[in-house]
Amino acid sequence: MERSIQAYYAALMGDRQGIIAALDGEGMIRWVSPEVQSVLGYEPAALVGLYMLDFVAENEVDVVRSRLRDLLAHPGALMRTRILLRHADGTYRTLSVVSRDLRQTAGIGEVVVHLHDVTGERQLMDELEESRSQLAEAYQIAGLGSWEWNLQDTEVRFSDQLLHLLGWKRQPSTRWNDLRHLFIHPEDLVRVEQAVRAWQVRAPLNLEFRIVWPDGRVRQWLLHAQNFTDAQGHRLRIAGVAMDITERRQAEAELFRAQKLEALDQLAAGIAHDFNNLLTVIQGNLSLAKDSLADHASEPLLAEAEAACNRAAYLAHQLSRYARASSARSFEPTHLRPLLTDVIPFLLRGSRVRSEMKVADDVLPVQGDAGALAQVLQNLVMNAMAAMPDGGVLRTEAENALLPDADPAVPLPEGRYVRLLVADSGRGVAPEHLPRIFDPYFTTRQDGQGLGLATTQRIVLNHQGHIAVSSSTGQGTLFTIYLPAAEIGATGIESGAGTAPSELARGVRALLVDDEALVRSAGARMLKELGCRVEVAGDSGQALGLMRRAMTKGHPFEVVVLDVTMPNDLGAAELLQRLRAIDPMLRAVVSSGYPHHETMRAPRDYGFRTALPKPYGLAELRGALVTALAEVEPPRREP
């Protein structure tokens, strides 16, 4: 369960105020992400086994209990709400909640809850609500831009702070009819004027709309206004305040985007897994057909089909890899050459930008997450393309670097690194903008959100690396990235150790366990073709029964191939433990359409001799069996 919920948690990494929790049908906490300590002050392990309702504010318990019942009555439905939860220091925090009952979802089986701390936003809105009844003069509101409209002489006066919020150095006119066209967004102007005309004398006006700065940038404003009348009720003047809420709206949009990415990540991983299962059937049968039709006229056709299947398998691998969010636990030796040759041509396709790429032949792999590093490349390439709307040259280089010799100014520990250069021939960055280029939400592009380079820097720092930028107006921009090199000789996925025979002996008794019937069928045919005596099982119960029967008859299995996950069943590692309780001599291979599953990445940590990623054909299956049946037992490490 925990690793399934962590897929949700991984999509939201970097959200320091967000918590992911898994509950059972009674509301008991089964798992909670580490952010609960920074948001609510509790150790995650201390909350497991407790009930969430025990932390809800007393006056909200009945409401939250009712909403929990509604959630459980609609499996799969998304429910949003806000609740007050008790902090470890005894105070209460306001959290927005997005929850879904996934107890019937294969591989999850829990109620998944995302909680985001909105205490600050809630307090700010409460203060604004209170200030509406207290507004007598606009100057009473500190830190906001104020304005006043004298209805007797029709003059409008803006405060210095409001001029700052408008990006103006001085007020160009005092007449409303002249001013309104200069800052209100053309698409919002009619709506604003209609709201003002319909405004009742005694009621405050609250209005949200867009403004346009002199340089074309668009900002979001929240405006509060109040009428002031004489004794007879005639309006004398209008006073109000305006607040720039652009960053708040961007943060809300980013949270919504993160929630959508969470769903997309799950979808991408699921598609890749199912796709790999289907490809296993296709590739397996193709390899069988090639063996049986050697030197036949149709052999080239089968070879082409197998090549296409291999390409499809690579695409599925990319999909599952890029769907994962970066975390230190997902780091593995990653070669930059395939990332550069995959990402850059794809992004430049159809543009007028030309790519010049230089990767040293001896460049080392880096220790990192391929999906996150691909996002770094994507952000830098998109930034370069925006700087070269009429075309240009994008230059990328990758080479080994030894610090501090390569550059003493780089603030990283000494050691081996890979230096990545990404340079464009675009318009460059103005000197006054360069210090803020990595700031969140800072952008000089009208269609930009200011998140790409901020995210890039966060990912590089998360990889214990360093990123620097140099630029001048009209001379292009150069990004220099240092990433720690992986240990020499490291590989991505462990394979079995020991001296393996060059050929697979015939007559090996093999057990294949997989929940997909088509995979079982194709796998059994391949095993038989390799000379094995094979039996198949669709779940752990069948596998254990076959194992006991084989031991009773005196014909034990020599090797088992286990699917890493089966819906509503034991995981591969736990099933292997139970199988070895029956036969301690059993050799095991773990197989999955999730190539980045922990068990696939380090099979020996879980008692397996090697990993067999899906899809696979005869050659891959033979290699896995040869490794598993090697005479020398590979060393095991504690999980």
Which pLDDT tens digit goes with each residue over 524-548? Answer: 988 998 899 999 999 999 999 999 9
The per-residue pLDDT for 620 is 87
pLDDT one-digit tens code per residue, 116-162: 888 877 777 777 666 655 543 534 343 478 888 887 777 888 888 88
Hey, which bits of 327-476 come out as E strands?
A: 332-334, 353-359, 366-368, 392-403, 415-424, 466-471
Is CATH 3.90.1150.10 the right assignment for the domain spanning 2-121?
no
Q: How confident is the model at residue 23 (pLDDT cuts 50, 70, 90)?
A: very high
The per-residue pLDDT for 471 is 86
151 — phi, psi (to 5°)? -75, -10
Identify the weakest region by mean pLDDT among 406-420, 446-460, 612-626.
446-460
What does DSSP say about strands 205-212 and 92-102: parallel, antiparallel, or unpaired? unpaired
Eight-state DSSP code of residue 447: T
Q: Where in the chain is the domain with CATH 3.30.565.10?
A: 324-492
Q: How confident is the model at residue 12 (pLDDT cuts 50, 70, 90)?
A: very low
The per-residue pLDDT for 148 is 85
Nearest one of 303, 305, 366 to 340, comparing CA atoms: 366
Taking 90 as the threshold, does the pLDDT of residue 92 lie above it? Answer: yes
Mean pLDDT of 608-616: 89
Identify the weakest region by mean pLDDT among 164-178, 495-509, 593-607.
495-509
Mean pLDDT of 332-359: 86
The per-residue pLDDT for 550 is 92
Which residue type occupies 36? V
Cβ atoms of 422 and 381 within 8 Å: the answer is yes
Q: Where in the chain is the domain with CATH 3.30.450.20?
A: 2-121, 135-244
Alpha carbons 380 and 460: distance in angstroms, whole number: 12
The per-residue pLDDT for 451 is 62
Residue range 509-628, CATH number: 3.40.50.2300
Identify the weakest region by mean pLDDT among 85-94, 234-243, 277-286, 618-627.
277-286
The per-residue pLDDT for 129 is 67
Which positions ≥6 away from 224 have C-beta within 8 Å? 128, 131, 132, 135, 204, 205, 206, 240, 241, 242, 243
Q: How confident is the model at residue 32 (pLDDT cuts 50, 70, 90)?
A: very high
DSSP letters along 361-397, please?
TTPPPEEE-HHHHHHHHHHHHHHHHHH-TT-EEEEEE
In 1-47, where does DSSP find H-type helix?
Answer: 2-11, 36-40, 44-47
The CA-CA-CA angle for residues 102, 106, 108, to 5°, reads 50
Mean pLDDT of 513-517: 91
Taking 60 as the threshold, does the pLDDT of residue 613 lie above it? Answer: yes
Q: How confident is the model at residue 287 (pLDDT cuts 50, 70, 90)?
A: confident
In 469-539, where does DSSP find H-type helix?
Answer: 517-529
| Among the four given CATH numbers 3.40.50.150, 3.40.50.1100, 3.30.590.10, 3.30.565.10, the one describing domain 324-492 | 3.30.565.10
| Among the four given CATH numbers 3.40.50.720, 3.30.450.20, 3.20.20.70, 3.40.50.150, the one describing domain 135-244 | 3.30.450.20
Which positions ≥6 away from 15 have C-beta within 8 Å? 35, 116, 255, 258
Mean pLDDT of 568-580: 92
Cβ atoms of 258 and 11 within 8 Å: the answer is yes
Radius of gyration of the CA atoms of the chain, in A? 31
Q: How confident is the model at residue 8 (pLDDT cuts 50, 70, 90)?
A: low
Taking 50 as the threshold, does the pLDDT of residue 325 lie above it? Answer: no
Q: How confident is the model at residue 440 (pLDDT cuts 50, 70, 90)?
A: low
Alpha carbons 599 and 610: distance in angstroms, whole number: 10
Q: How confident is the model at residue 635 (pLDDT cuts 50, 70, 90)?
A: very low
Tell me which of 13 and 557 has the higher pLDDT. Answer: 557
Give the long-range contacts of residues 290-296, CB within 8 A, separation 24 or more: 291/529, 291/618
Taking 80 as the threshold, does the pLDDT of residue 237 lie above it? Answer: yes
Alpha carbons 260 and 39: distance in angstroms, whole number: 22
Give the long-range contacts of residues 183-187, CB within 8 A, separation 24 or more: 183/211, 183/212, 184/209, 184/210, 184/211, 184/212, 185/209, 185/210, 185/211, 185/212, 185/218, 186/212
The per-residue pLDDT for 496 is 39
Q: How confident is the model at residue 488 (pLDDT cuts 50, 70, 90)?
A: low
Percent of the chain with pLDDT over 90: 27
Taking 60 as the threshold, does the pLDDT of residue 501 lie above it? Answer: no
Cβ atoms of 621 and 291 within 8 Å: the answer is no
Percent of the chain with pLDDT over 70: 81
Q: Give 169's Cβ-side CA count (13 Å radius).
A: 1
Mean pLDDT of 326-352: 78
Average pLDDT, the chain: 81
Taking 50 as the threshold, does the pLDDT of residue 4 lie above it? Answer: yes
Report the run of H or E that residue 96 belongs to, with start and end. Answer: strand 92-102
Q: Where in the chain is the domain with CATH 3.40.50.2300?
A: 509-628
β-sheet with 155-158: strand ranges across: 155-158, 145-150, 235-244, 218-229, 205-212
Task: Name the residue with tokens 């899906």.
Answer: 614
pTM of the model: 0.43
Taking 60 as the threshold, does the pLDDT of residue 632 lie above it? Answer: no
